[in-house]
Chains A and B, each alone.
Chain A
Amino acid sequence: MAILTALTSAAIFAAAEGAAHAEGAEHKTGLPQLAIETFAGQVFWLAISFVVLFVLLSWVVIPRIRGVLEMRRDRIAGDLAAAAAAKAEADGALKAYDKAVAEARARGRALAEETRRKTKAESDASRSEAEAALNAKIAASEEQLAAATAAAMTNIRAVASETAAEIYTRLTGETMAAPDALPAVDAALAR
């Protein structure tokens, strides 16, 4: 670029020099822009200024601004990535939490079920035990009752036959042993 500027200025120097010789100082009173004798100086200082500015900008200023812009872009990209990572982490944590809650809930349900089952089994067992005991008692009572009834029946036969024999003796005057009256008593009881 510097070479180009220098080339350009050199070309214009030459042109300006030629023109300046040809036209002399005629333009002093005319448009200052056409005062050809000033061209060489203007282009010379333009070239110096422009090259200085070009060097300053391309060596110092542009790298610095570019560096800051890149740093900012990297930083923003980095922050976005960190935010995305944090979000993923939070999502993971949420998922893990949900899973833990679901697991705990399932475990709780299982525990409750288990407890209920155990309690029911225990109560069933104690109830059947109680029922068995009760049934045994009922059976024993019934047995006792049957024994008592049988005993009572035996006594009734003895008493009835004795009474019948006594009545017979008194009525007829004939003696009758109690066991002889038994068949008649049994027949009467069976009726």
Chain B
Amino acid sequence: MLHQIAGPMEQFVIKPIVPLHVGGLDLSFSNTSLWMALAVAGVTIFLTMGMARAALVPGRWQSMAEMTYEFIANTVRQNAGEAGMKFFPLIFTLFMFVLFCNLFGLLPYSFTPTSHIIVTFALAMLVFITVIVVGLLRHGLHFFSLFVPGGVPGWLLPIIVPIEIISFLSRPISLSVRLFANMLAGHTMLKVFATFVVSLGAAGGIMSAGAILPLLGIVAVTALEFLVAALQAYVFAVLTSIYLNDAINLHEHH
């Protein structure tokens, strides 16, 4: 019975839609590309249509667009200060892209680009490289004083500095794995519950009645996944702001 149902991992398989091979690389336009494009379209529609009237007294839609903007703007301002607002477009783009990828991924038959480590890792590397470039441009070699926390006794530095360096280097990993693992786990859990519903329902008799439990579970997990989708996008934006704060202000916190 079970082998006829798609496995919980099958939803993550990349399926080419328009094949494209360049220099031995498979650059096909696939289901993930489609849902990335849809996320871009969704963000653009959400933000431009909402602001189409650009009214002084906003309607509901315009209010949502403005609140999203101000929410991220405040996050950046709090974590990276006024100087960090220079990077607001980047952080806002990251947040909206991740948010819409996550949310669209909850639609039936959709695909979640952010459930793939390579996607989240690329985004995390973008942040990581931005932080390094900004830090070096602003502070030159002094940027590396980031690895030497103030107020630490000299004899501790041989221990502290490697720890700081490792923690700095592990940022893109933790940033990408956090998002990817949350999406992967949520979608897998939904699929597993769904499989239970189908197999119990098909089992007949008293077993069929038991299918209601995993069904309720799906409802609960779906609700949770909406929270996780928004939360992980926010976490990505907050951590990006905090990392950029390091690059802009070194040790000072805002």
| Given A43-B118, A43-B122, A50-B97, A61 and B32 contact (CB-CB distance below 8 Å) | no
A40 touches B51 (CB 8 A): no
Using Cβ atoms and an 8 Å threshold, which residues of chain B touch A46? 36, 113, 119, 122-123
Pairwise interchain contact B14-A32, C-beta atoms closer than 8 A = yes
Q: Is A141 an interface residue (CB 8 A)?
A: no
**Interface bits B73-98 vs A (CB < 8 Å: 1, else 0):** 00000000000000011101100110
Chain B 26-67 against A: per-residue CB contact (8 Å), 1 yes, 0 no? 111110110011011001100110010011101000100110
Contacts of B97 in A (CB 8 A): 49-50, 53
Q: Are B24 and A17 in contact (CB under 8 A)?
A: yes
Task: Give the A-B pair count, Cβ closer than 8 A.
Answer: 154
Contact with A along B179-195 (1 / 0, CB 8 A): 01000100000000000
Most interface-central of A53, A66, A69 (chain B CB within 10 A): A53
| Residue A67, interface by CB 8 Å | yes
Minimum CB distance partner of A14 in chain B: B25
Would you call A38 and B14 a contact (CB within 8 A)?
yes
Q: Is the CB of A13 within 8 A of B66?
A: no
Q: How far is the CA of A5 from the CA of B130 in the complex (A)?
A: 9
Main secondary structure, interface of A, reads: helix
- How far is A130 from B184 in the complex, measured between Cα atoms in Å? 122
* B: number of interface residues (CB 8 Å): 57
Whether A39 lies near B47 (C-beta < 8 A) is: no
Once bound together, how far apart are the Cα atoms of A41 and B89, in whole Å? 25
Dominant secondary structure at the B interface:
helix
A65 and B48 alpha carbons, distance in the complex (Å): 9
Complex: A68 Cα to B92 Cα, angstroms: 17
Within 8 Å CB of B56, what residues of A?
68, 71-72, 75
Contact residues in A for B232 (Cβ distance below 8 Å): none
Cα(A156)–Cα(B47), bound, Å: 139
Verify A8–B89 contact, CB threshold 8 A.
no
* Residues of chain B within 8 A of A37, CB atoms compared: 26
For residue A41, give the distance in angstroms from its CB to the closest CB of chain B: 5
- Cross-chain contact B93 with A50 (CB below 8 angstroms): yes
Task: State the Cβ distance, B90 to closest chain A Cβ, in Å.
Answer: 6
B117 within 8 A of A: yes
Q: Given contacts A45-B29, A52-B40, is CB(A1)–CB(B130) below 8 Å?
A: yes
Provide the bound-state CA to CA distance between A13 and B27, in Å: 10
A47-B62 Cα distance, complex, nearest whole Å: 28
Query: Which residues of chain B are near A68, meaning CB under 8 Å?
Result: 51, 54-56, 58, 62, 66
Q: Is A168 an interface residue (CB 8 A)?
A: no
Contact status of A42 and B65, CB under 8 A, knowing A17-B25, A57-B96: no
| Partner pick for A12 among B32, B55, B69, B122, CB 8 A cutoff | B122
Contact at B129–A8, with CB atoms within 8 Å? yes
A56 in contact (CB, < 8 A) = yes
Tell me the complex Cα distance, A60–B25, Å: 33
* Closest residue on chain B to residue A1 by CB atoms: B90
Say yes or no: is B126 at the interface (Cβ < 8 Å to chain A).
Answer: yes
Residues A13-36 near B (CB distance < 8 A): 13, 16-17, 31-33, 35
A97 at the interface (CB under 8 A from B): no
Binary CB contact string for chain A from 84 to 99 against chain B (1 if under 8 A, 0 otherwise):
0000000000000000
Our pick among A1, A33, A66 for the contact of B12 (Cβ within 8 Å) is A33
Q: Is B9 an interface residue, CB under 8 A from the partner?
A: yes
Q: Is residue B13 contacting chain A, with contact meaning CB distance below 8 A?
A: yes
Q: Is the CB of A9 within 8 A of B39?
A: no
B14 and A61: CB pair below 8 A?
no
Q: A interface vs B, CB < 8 Å?
A: 1, 4-5, 7-9, 11-13, 16-17, 31-33, 35, 37-47, 49-50, 52-54, 56-58, 60-62, 64-69, 71-72, 75
Q: Which residues of B are interface residues toward A (Cβ below 8 A)? A: 9-10, 12-14, 16, 20, 24-30, 32-33, 36-37, 39-40, 43-44, 47-48, 51, 54-56, 58, 62, 65-66, 69-70, 88-90, 92-93, 96-97, 113, 115-119, 121-123, 125-126, 129-130, 133, 180, 184
* Smallest CB-CB A-B distances: 10 pairs: A45-B33, A58-B89, A32-B12, A49-B36, A40-B25, A38-B14, A61-B47, A54-B93, A53-B40, A32-B13
